[in-house]
Amino acid sequence: MSSRPDPEPSLQDEAARAGWLYYVGGLTQDQIAQDLGVSRQRAQRLVSRAMAEGLIHVRLNHRIGACLDLEHALTARFGLQRCRVSPGLGPGGDGVRSIAPTAAAEFERFLRMDRPLVLALGTGRAMRGMVDALTDGIVAEHHRLVSLIGNIAPDGSASFFDVVMRLADKVHAPHYPMPVPVISTTPEENDAFHALPPVKKVVELAQRADVIFVGIGQMSEDAPLLKDGFVSRAELDEMQAAGAAGEVAGWVFDRAGRYLDLGTNRRTGGVRVDPGLDRPAIGIAAGETKAPAIVGALTSRIVNGLVTDEPTARAVLALAG
């Protein structure tokens, strides 16, 4: 853990944070003044300074000291390959809105590489936020995009937070959706889908992906799988009783990051992210209720990289000890 758990911010730190809260968080100058504990006039000057010094171009171009400390602490605690922590947006702020530009910048590092890559993606609000925050005009025709998770919802419609087609349209890259239900009705139905030759080809491509980007979902009462209708109340209760803490690409794991051999895991479509991969597997997640899920995914190395925000990072470190 860093020796500066609560560092004294520099003037540039304050300007960067004020600019972030104003241009990304959408806060008023009065709200920024209250958040930073300064006068409204100082808040106004800090926002102006952030623009004048080029610290804000929709994305934050200055690494705030507190965020750097958290990145170092998370990297040391979990042995991460990559870690980025975005400034928080204050009480009640939307964590996805905070991390989307940072996650987009991380993803663009790979899009801009000359070597052709297979980029595998999960789904969810954070992933969709990342795609929406990508810089316009990037052309990545030499890469291939593949989904790790099925794209069919329980009612037969396309999964709302599927991102592969949305991303492909933005960067003009070949893309391979996973043409199976997110969660099938029975294990036998899931096996039948995976026996189809086109599905096998997409699964094989996803399994040899060079880079993985996934959201990390919690398995508490506000579990995305429950809210989006992919699991029933009874199934969530069963998995919670077995220690379920989180999910990645629809696959549920416990607080130690061990995948459960029960519940919807027996019917989940797509490709499971194996722990301990030697290639980048980056989790995109924010929200303090996600802390147990993030700790589990990091502990077992389902993901070896993380993009999150300050409040979530502090919650993860406190929970991990």
Complete DSSP assignment for 115-152 = S--EEEE--SHHHHHHHHTSPTT---TTSEEEEEEEEE
Q: pLDDT confidence of 3, banded at 50, 70, 90?
A: very low
Parse the chain into domains and list their residue ranges: 1-62, 64-320
For the domain with range 1-62, which CATH number is right: 1.10.10.10, 3.30.420.40, 1.10.3720.10, 1.10.287.610?
1.10.10.10
- CATH class name, domain 64-320: alpha beta
Beta-bridged to residue 120, according to DSSP, are 146, 212
Beta-strand relationship, 305-309 and 281-284? parallel
Structure tokens at 254: 């416990």
Containing H/E element for 251? Answer: strand 251-254
- Pick from 235, 214, 206: which is nearest to 223 by CA? 235
CA 103, CA 313: separation in Å to the nearest integer? 15
Tell me if domain 1-62 and domain 64-320 are identical in fold.
no
Q: Does the pLDDT value for residue 62 go beyond 90?
A: no
- Per the CB < 8 A criterion, the answer to whether 265 and 259 are in contact is yes
Containing H/E element for 289? Answer: none
Tens digit of each residue's pLDDT (9 = 90 or more) over 247-262: 999 999 999 999 999 9
CA 297, CA 170: separation in Å to the nearest integer? 29
Strand, helix or coil at 256?
coil
Q: pLDDT confidence of 9, banded at 50, 70, 90?
A: low
- Pick from 123, 175, 187, 176: which is nearest to 149 by CA? 123
Tens digit of each residue's pLDDT (9 = 90 or more) over 87-143: 988 888 888 989 999 999 999 999 999 999 999 999 999 999 999 999 989 999 999
Least confident piece of the model among 25-39, 82-96, 117-131, 150-164 = 150-164
User: Residues 102, 104, 106, 109: is their CA dihedral positive or negative?
Assistant: negative
Q: Does the pLDDT value for residue 1 go beyond 50?
A: no
Structure tokens at 77: 């605690």
CB proximity list for 155: less than 8 A, separation 6 or greater: 229
Composition of the chain by helix, strand, coil, percent to 5: 45, 20, 40
Q: Stretch 155-184: mean pLDDT, rounded?
A: 88
The size of the chain, in residues, is 321
- Per the CB < 8 A criterion, the answer to whether 49 and 15 are in contact is yes
Q: Does the pLDDT value for residue 169 go beyond 80?
A: yes
> Taking each helix axis from N to C terminus, what angle separates 310-320 and 65-78, rounded to the nearest 10 degrees?
30
* Mean pLDDT score across all residues of the chain: 90
User: Which residue has better confidence, 10 or 300?
Assistant: 300
Q: Does the pLDDT value for residue 64 go beyond 90?
A: no
Least confident piece of the model among 17-21, 95-99, 106-110, 153-157 = 153-157
